[in-house]
Structure 1
Amino acid sequence: MNSLARSGLITMDEASCIESTEAGRLMSLFYMDVETMKNIMKIEGSETLERLLWIVCESHELADMHLRVDERRCLNLLNRNNKAPTIRFPMKGKISTRQMKLNCIIQATLGCLPIPEPALNQEALKVMRTASRVCKCLVKYVTRPELPPQPQTFSAVLNSIILSKCIEAHLWENSPYVSKQLKGIGPTFSTLLASAGVTSFMLLEESHPRDLERIMNKGPPAGNIIRKQVSLLPKYQLTVTPIDARSVTIHLMLLNHNHLSENMDQLTAGDSHKSYLIVGDSENYLLLLTQFTDKDFISVYDGTMKYEVTRKLQNEHKILIHCVSSVIANLKRLHHLLASLIIQLTPPALKLLSTPYPNPENHLKLPILME
């Protein structure tokens, strides 16, 4: 008990009344090992995507995975290879530890890289299931409601949500194999589509159904089914309007609100699909964090949401706005879907933009942005 109290997982008073903290509650909810939860609690707020992946690989839930001698050659080729695609974040030196093996397996799975060793393929399934559970706990911890107002955790929050999404989808957030997430399309068809240059939801929706069928060597109505699935994904438009020298209004609108509301039982992402709206600045301050489901956005908010954000500092810096799906990778490529917006709001520019607008055309309207 004293060890748990020192770790911040429970609180004890003089009367020996024990109460779980938010971190302790999450540890129990997601069946986390104590040492894993301690590692998660060490997050400072500026962690990158690569660093958070290492935290997942160091979790004690994966401690039963061992690095075998006959696996090293395969893993080293996935890590560094001049003749074939390799993992996104190559590691220095050769694969020599359990954590490096797990990191390589997860990255190979997210990058859709073939793993020639059958034993590693079997282990990859278990690794991804466990990593998904750890990432969900990680996201819940960094987005817990007891955070102080405007903490310097923007990078950790954003990258935790992105990593959790990637592991859930088994794809990197910028993967060209985006079609793999649609029903009826597996690794073979997604590879054919990616090789033909169809690497985003936008291109899938704009392609002719017969062209899609020709690429996949499938008969009608396969192309029409794919396009219908893409049409039932949410399409957002974001408008940013400066209010004064420190504040802006963020207006998020669902462009295909009517179409989705008429097909609520056929939504491609599912009824429980959730998205995050994350606003921060270049000083790593988290200015706004909110989440919403497609179902609530359609029925409760009537396809539109509005927020007012105030800058933390007076000096020159950037405001960054991300709208991130919780489970669908590369959704940012969908037409009119905003995934990452970088606006540089300097005091002189704000002074010019903050004058009353005679018409809405002067508002900063960003229907689409590619990273």
Structure 2
Amino acid sequence: MTKYYLKFDTMKHIMQTPVNCSLEDALHVICRSEEIAWIQLRRNEKKLLNDINADKDGQLRFHILDDKGKRKKRIQTREEKIFVLANDCLTGDPSVHDLSLTQDMNSICSNGCRIARCMKEFFIYQKNYKGALNSMLLAKSLYQKLWDDSPYLLKQLPGIGMVTAKALHSMGVKSFGTLAEADPRRIEIVTGRKYPFGNHLKDSLHLLPPKVEMKVEDTECQRQGKLKLVVTLTRLSQTFQPTKRHYADMIVGSEEDNLILFHEKIR
């Protein structure tokens, strides 16, 4: 709590999360947090928020539901507003363009990322596999303002906004892998940018963490159904020197028992 400068009531919400904490549960914890309690639901925002939650285009991952499990037609509380804004932002192509709501959205993501990182450490301490995994995913998503399966993942690269991301999406470039294989001149034609934008864009892939190959082998089979496994991580060769240091959390757990068996931070 102290490490991430969280308020006491926020930490209580984290500790009260269900054992099988889902991604949606973790997001609800952030929506109830004291760090963003200053965000208020204004009367003139309700229509837009209602339309976003109706989600006619099917963009949102989660929705505000009523007692019958159907999408709620009216947003009525501050927590519901925060939940809708967070979901809208994480699509990668938010419907909100109002300055006030955009500021609220930015605050939700910045504070939410900090809270989710604290949740991750709490669940790792509790050896809660599902909670730790979902908290890590949520923290990364809020930091980048994108879900992990968003069609606009390339917005993470410098120089790519919504217009460029949509143009790349239209030519089938939806991931870092397809971008690495794309023709720089074709990129410039589709995006309407001048040479050498395509080359610079492909060079920006060097900012990403290196690819890692994982190999799992069983070395010893003991009685009572216990196995001893060796996990080998191999960083694939790089022809360039990365400009930024990256780290990763390696978590080995049992999904059935919801138990973390091994955790290590890899740098």
- 1:182-221 residue CA offsets vs partner (Å, 9 max, x unmatched): 1111122112112322111100111111122122111221
- In structure 2, how many angstroms separate the alpha carbons of the residues matched to 1:282 and 1:29? 29
Q: Does 1:186 align with 2:166?
A: no
Q: Does 1:120 align with 2:101?
A: yes
The Cα of 1:45 is off from its aligned counterpart by: 3.8
Percent of pairs with identical residues: 30
- 1:127-172 residue CA offsets vs partner (Å, 9 max, x unmatched): 222212222222232234xx5xxx4x11001111110000011110
The Cα of 1:85 is off from its aligned counterpart by: 4.3
- 1:302-361 residue CA offsets vs partner (Å, 9 max, x unmatched): xxxxxxxxxxxxxxxxxxxxxxxxxxxxxxxxxxxxxxxxxxxxxxxxxxxxxxxxxxxx
The Cα of 1:248 is off from its aligned counterpart by: 2.0
SS in 1 for 2:119: helix
Match of 2:212 in 1: 236
Q: Does 1:74 align with 2:48?
A: yes
Residues 141, 282 of structure 1: alpha-carbon distance in 2 compared, 3 angstrom cutoff: closer
Q: Number of paired residues?
A: 252
- In structure 2, how many angstroms separate the alpha carbons of the residues matched to 1:62 and 1:110? 17
Q: Does 1:286 align with 2:267?
A: no
The Cα of 1:42 is off from its aligned counterpart by: 2.2
Q: Return the TM-score normalized by structure 1.
A: 0.64
SS in 2 for 1:179: helix
**1:21-36 matched pairs, under 5 angstroms:** 27-36=1-10
SS in 2 for 1:193: helix
Match of 1:275 in 2: 248
- In structure 1, how many angstroms separate the alpha carbons of the residues matched to 2:5 and 2:250? 28
Q: Does 1:157 align with 2:138?
A: no
Match of 2:63 in 1: 90
Output the amino acid matched with 2:9: E
Match of 2:88 in 1: 108
Q: Does 1:64 align with 2:45?
A: no
- In structure 1, how many angstroms separate the alpha carbons of the residues matched to 2:4 and 2:35? 11
1:79/1:86 contact within 8 Å kept: no
Q: Return the TM-score normalized by structure 2.
A: 0.88
Residues 255, 232 of structure 1: alpha-carbon distance in 2 compared, 3 angstrom cutoff: farther
The Cα of 1:44 is off from its aligned counterpart by: 4.5
Output the amino acid matched with 2:260: L
Give the alignment's Cα RMSD to 1 decimal: 1.8
- 1:22-63 residue CA offsets vs partner (Å, 9 max, x unmatched): xxxxx2232211111111122344201111000011101111
Match of 2:192 in 1: 217
The Cα of 1:244 is off from its aligned counterpart by: 3.4
1:192/1:215 contact within 8 Å kept: yes
Output the amino acid matched with 2:133: L
- In structure 2, how many angstroms separate the alpha carbons of the residues matched to 1:213 and 1:194? 13
SS in 1 for 2:220: coil
- In structure 2, how many angstroms separate the alpha carbons of the residues matched to 1:115 and 1:237? 40
Residues 278, 189 of structure 1: alpha-carbon distance in 2 compared, 3 angstrom cutoff: same
Match of 1:142 in 2: 123
Report the structure number with the largest CA radius of gyration: 1
1:238/1:252 contact within 8 Å kept: yes
